[in-house]
Amino acid sequence: MLAAMDSTSLTLRPASPADAEAILRILGETYETTWKPHLTAEARARFEAAGRTRAYVQARLGHFHLACLGGEVVGLVDWRDDFIDALHVSPRAQRAGAGSALLRFAERRMAAAGHAQARLETDTFNSQSRAFYARHGYAEIDFYPDEEWHSGFTTVLLSKPLG
């Protein structure tokens, strides 16, 4: 587990084209450990056949920022305007500070761009994610069916004032 590593080795940096496979690895690891166990067989098959993760990484690669521990890419964040599209940390590196550092970084960048709030979504079943965001000052402001992925999950919209 990477959490035992010296936290001073944590660095944040923009992603480069060479990081695409590391980003896909982290997204795959978090899918396997977080969402896949909660999806129906039909929803799993639909998601895995769609290829949307690779298309997302290809489309947004220049917008990702990465957390590295000891030189290894262990986390990522991607946001547009005031909305965090993705914040993922490899299960092997969770609780090492990478997620908190990425979240603070994105929030500072959003505030510097003039946004008064940060918003993001998670799922009601994801108690680990919900607790993480609550610790960082996010409030759950709305609940609605997942219509983007058709997972059968209920999405939670969270918000935090910036500044």
- Is it the case that residue 161 has pLDDT exceeding 50? yes
Residues β-bridged to residue 117: 161
Helix (H) or strand (E) holding 119: strand 117-123
Q: Rounded to an integer, what distance in angstroms lies between the CA atom of residue 151 and that of residue 77?
A: 22
Task: Say how many Å lie between the first and final Cα of the chain, rounded.
Answer: 34
Which residues partner with 105 through β-bridges?
A: none
Torsion sign over Cα 148, 50, 22, 38: positive
Say how far apart CA 155 and CA 83 lie, in whole Å. 15
Mean pLDDT of the chain: 93
pTM for the complete prediction? Answer: 0.91
| pLDDT over 90, % of the chain | 83
| CB proximity list for 10: less than 8 A, separation 6 or greater | 67, 68, 69, 96, 97, 98, 101
Neighbours of 160 (CB within 10 A): 19
Geometric angle at alpha carbon 10, from 100 and 116, rounded to 5°: 35
Give yes or no for a contact between 119 and 157, defined as CB atoms under 8 angstroms apart.
yes
Closest CA to 88 of 101, 79, 77, 72: 77
Q: What is the pLDDT of residues 85-141, one digit of tens each?
A: 999 999 999 988 999 999 999 999 999 999 999 999 999 999 999 999 999 999 999
Predicted confidence at residue 148, as pLDDT, reads 78
